[in-house]
């Protein structure tokens, strides 16, 4: 019996029955290996990463830096053969001196130690030229890089100016990366992010990518965020017992937990009493909500997220009393709002004869938040998506308006290209706003078009957009809930009845961070709009998608029928041209990039909003 139990034990360990003592030795080595991995002697193996994710973007920057440092680029890819991971260059949690050589597209510094010139250290809150002390956290030896925590600056970069920092939590909180960097340098870096995105992810030759315009900055570098979502974790053990119906009662809080945001590089919540990048109303909301949570702590058995969304109302200025002479915020009023709104409100008077603007905050995600962009008013559920920097929205929408239509054509009736005479493109009369949300583009661009059609797969968003069109008295804007499998069905019925393509249409795309899926891009190419404006909060997935449109549907791993994993092929249409047509013998559809530019919606952070303007290339234009 004893021998049988022993054999079963080694069977579970996968050992050789005939040599049990070797099995015991192997078991010891396995245990030691696990401990070494936990202590950082061994390194993690890079898992597959999602397209456009921070991991993919960071890895591209690391490989580029290694190549510039004369390290073999292909040799630093992940170990795909299943071989044993190599040993990490430094013990976990040890400190290492790093000289920062570059700034990555995700906002972290990339540098080398004096003892390891073929291994990149990723150090947050650093700038090129900094010499810093960093703590080793997670190592990827097969990919030649290590993630670290910032400890201290040993020798500052010429670009570093710590006097610019306004937040006591900077260099710990995960929210901001660049408070020590001048705003001019922040904008220059964000321009380079767009440039690198198209160089690394568009899969286009450099001659097909135009020069990227200078990044357009935000009028406010602090006090601009109209939405914050601080959170707090539940008491110890609350997550374990959450799903147990017959388990012991969940423990309550013994003290007020940290309420705020994540510590950089961790899942740990950091207590944040104030956030200077938020608007004054939202900052006041944070103060009041922290106080409320402390007073009502006994009601919570688990963690929670607090919504703080600014809402703005405008009313005619009161004729009584002396008029305000500045736009500076006035003292917070003590009036109580009967609509379950917080009692605090910030008031400004834009001019003695115009309107009084009152800003307050909302904590109910189903309550209505109001935004004003120039002459337009937008009403949205407070928990729904809307751009979080109102100060730049008028500049942003004005830029889109000035580029939504093509440059004025020649005064002659024909154009000549490659010794071929062709007619000028038809004038654009219709706007199709995909991923329309609450109608930002449909409404602000409506004066330039005969009709505007907003399409979104969310019925809630369509309801908000229709409400906003009525609120702003926009008669030519309509909205419809689209089917992802045939998103342009309504647009085809309206504008492409003859099947010759939507020559009089421009399409605006503003997708989520993951970008457009293959099906959407195929449908867009099949719809054949004359012009495309692609707005994105992730310029890396934008570059990938724009590359597909410029190549006319060809992408790695995607045949022209959209089957992933299918070998690249070129379909020949009836007229002998290759590419995606409309199924009726139409020639290949592809686009050229007219302009690229970034917008800084989030100063002090590594995020940049990208705008790409695309013009359809007709078959008689050759390879222009």
Work out the average pLDDT over 65-92: 57
* Other beta carbons within 10 Å of 225: 24
Q: What does the pLDDT read at residue 252?
A: 81
Of 55, 284, 537, 594, catalytic:
537
Name the pLDDT band for 129 (thresholds 50, 70, 90): very high
Query: Could you report the per-residue pLDDT of 428-458, keeping only the tens digit for each?
Result: 999 999 999 999 999 999 999 999 999 999 9
The first and second tokens of residue 129, run together, are 């030229």
**158-161 contacts at long range (C-beta below 8 A, 24 or more positions apart):** 158/129, 159/127, 159/128, 159/129, 159/185, 160/127, 160/129, 160/130
Q: What does the pLDDT read at residue 605?
A: 97
Query: Could you report the per-residue pLDDT of 312-370, keeping only the tens digit for each?
Result: 998 876 665 554 443 443 333 333 333 334 434 454 444 545 678 899 999 999 999 99
- The gap from C-alpha 222 to its chain's centroid, in whole angstroms, comes to 20
Q: What does the pLDDT read at residue 48?
A: 64
Q: What does the pLDDT read at residue 553?
A: 79
Report the length, in residues, of the chain: 624
* Beta bridge partners of residue 372, listed in sequence order: 377
Say yes or no to pLDDT of 572 above 50: no
Active site residue 97: no
Bridge-based pairing of strands 505-509 and 430-434 is parallel
End-to-end CA distance of the chain: 82
Name the pLDDT band for 116 (thresholds 50, 70, 90): confident
Handedness of CA 333, 339, 341, 346 (dihedral sign): negative
Q: Global pTM?
A: 0.81
Q: What does the pLDDT read at residue 44?
A: 52
Work out the average pLDDT over 133-158: 95
Out of 242-246, 278-282, 318-322, 578-582, give the one with best mean pLDDT: 278-282
Query: Could you report the per-residue pLDDT of 389-404, keeping only the tens digit for each?
Result: 999 999 999 999 999 9
Q: How far apart are CA 573 and CA 580, in angstroms?
A: 8
User: CA dist 366 to 197, 312, 378, Å?
Assistant: 37, 16, 15
From 78, 42, 43, 72, select the one nearest 59 (Cα to Cα): 78
Of 133, 275, 609, 621, catalytic:
609
The domain locations on the chain are 9-39, 54-76+87-160, 225-236+255-315+342-368
Query: Could you report the per-residue pLDDT of 479-524, keeping only the tens digit for each?
Result: 999 888 889 988 988 887 666 668 899 999 999 999 999 999 999 9
The first and second tokens of residue 25, run together, are 């030795």
Query: Could you report the per-residue pLDDT of 192-220, keeping only the tens digit for each?
Result: 999 999 999 999 999 999 999 999 999 99
Q: What does the pLDDT read at residue 501?
A: 61
Query: Could you report the per-residue pLDDT of 36-61, keeping only the tens digit for each?
Result: 444 444 445 555 677 788 999 999 99
Q: What does the pLDDT read at residue 20?
A: 36
User: In which residue are the tokens 């342009």 written?
Assistant: 488
Name the pLDDT band for 619 (thresholds 50, 70, 90): low
SS3 at position 381: strand
**54-76+87-160, CATH topology level:** OB fold (Dihydrolipoamide Acetyltransferase, E2P) (2.40.50)
Out of 450-459, 552-561, 613-622, give the one with best mean pLDDT: 450-459
- The gap from C-alpha 315 to its chain's centroid, in whole angstroms, comes to 35
CB 108 within 8 A of CB 122: yes
Q: What does the pLDDT read at residue 423?
A: 64
Say yes or no to pLDDT of 27 above 90: no
* % of the chain surpassing 90 pLDDT: 60
Work out the average pLDDT over 577-592: 59
Angle between helices 539-550 and 183-201 (to 10 degrees): 40
CB 401 within 8 A of CB 425: no
- HSE of 249, CA atoms in CB hemisphere, 13 A: 4
CB 180 within 8 A of CB 161: yes
The first and second tokens of residue 113, run together, are 């130690």
Active site residue 537: yes
């Amino acid at each position: 019996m004893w021998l049988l139990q022993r054999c079963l034990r080694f069977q579970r360990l996968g050992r050789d029955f005939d040599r049990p003592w070797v099995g015991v030795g192997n078991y010891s080595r396995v245990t030691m290996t696990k401990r070494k991995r936990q202590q950082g002697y061994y390194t993690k193996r890079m898992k597959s990463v999602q397209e456009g994710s921070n991991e993919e973007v960071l890895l591209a920057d690391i490989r580029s830096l290694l190549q510039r440092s004369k390290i073999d680029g292909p040799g630093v890819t992940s170990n795909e053969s299943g071989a044993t991971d190599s040993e990490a260059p430094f013990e976990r949690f040890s400190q290492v001196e790093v000289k920062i050589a570059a700034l990555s597209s995700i906002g972290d510094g990339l540098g080398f130690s004096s003892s390891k010139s073929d291994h990149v250290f990723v150090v947050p809150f650093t700038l090129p030229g900094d010499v810093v002390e960093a703590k080793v956290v997670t190592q990827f030896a097969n990919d030649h890089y290590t993630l670290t925590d910032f400890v201290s600056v040993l020798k500052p970069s010429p670009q570093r100016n710590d006097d610019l920092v306004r937040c006591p939590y900077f260099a710990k909180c995960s929210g901001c990366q660049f408070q020590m960097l001048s705003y001019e340098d922040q904008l220059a870096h964000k321009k380079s992010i767009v440039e690198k995105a198209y160089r690394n992810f568009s899969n286009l030759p450099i001659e097909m990518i135009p020069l990227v315009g200078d990044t357009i900055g935000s009028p406010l570098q602090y006090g601009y965020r109209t939405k914050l979502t601080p959170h707090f974790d539940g008491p110890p053990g609350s997550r374990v017992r959450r799903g147990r119906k017959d388990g012991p009662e969940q423990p309550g809080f013994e003290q007020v937990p940290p309420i705020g945001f994540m510590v950089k590089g961790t899942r740990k919540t950091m207590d944040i009493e104030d956030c200077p990048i938020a608007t004054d109303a939202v900052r006041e909301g944070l103060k009041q909500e922290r106080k409320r949570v402390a007073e009502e702590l006994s009601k919570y058995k688990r963690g929670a997220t607090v919504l703080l969304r600014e809402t703005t109302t405008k009313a005619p200025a009161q004729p009584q009393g002396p008029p305000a002479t500045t736009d500076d915020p006035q003292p917070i009023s003590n009036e109580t709002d009967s609509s379950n709104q917080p009692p605090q409100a910030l008031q400004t008077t834009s001019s003695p004869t115009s309107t009084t603007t009152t800003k307050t905050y909302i904590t109910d995600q189903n309550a209505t938040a109001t935004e004003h962009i120039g002459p337009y008013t937008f009403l949205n559920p407070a928990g729904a998506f809307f751009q979080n920097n109102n100060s730049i929205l008028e500049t942003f929408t004005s830029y889109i308006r000035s580029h939504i239509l093509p440059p004025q054509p020649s005064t002659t009736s024909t154009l000549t290209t490659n010794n071929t005479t062709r007619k000028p493109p038809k004038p654009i009369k219709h706007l199709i706003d995909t991923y329309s949300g609450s109608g930002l583009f449909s409404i602000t661009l409506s004066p330039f078009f005969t009709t505007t059609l907003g399409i979104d797969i969310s019925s809630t968003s369509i309801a908000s957009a229709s409400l906003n069109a009525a609120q702003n008295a926009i008669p030519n804007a309509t909205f419809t809930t689209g089917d992802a499998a045939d998103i342009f069905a309504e647009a085809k019925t309206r504008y492409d009845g003859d099947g010759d393509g939507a020559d009089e249409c421009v399409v605006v795309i503003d997708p989520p961070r993951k970008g457009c899926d293959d099906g959407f891009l195929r449908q867009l190419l099949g719809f054949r709009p004359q012009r495309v404006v692609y707005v994105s909060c992730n310029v890396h997935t934008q570059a990938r998608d724009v590359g597909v449109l410029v190549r006319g549907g060809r992408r790695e791993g995607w045949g022209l029928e959209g089957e992933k994993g299918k070998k690249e092929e070129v379909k020949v249409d009836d007229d002998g041209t290759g590419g995606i047509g409309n199924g009726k013998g139409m020639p290949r559809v592809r686009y050229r990039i007219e302009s690229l530019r970034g917008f800084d919606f989030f100063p002090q952070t590594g995020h940049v909003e990208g705008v790409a303007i695309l013009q359809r290339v007709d078959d008689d234009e050759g390879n222009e």
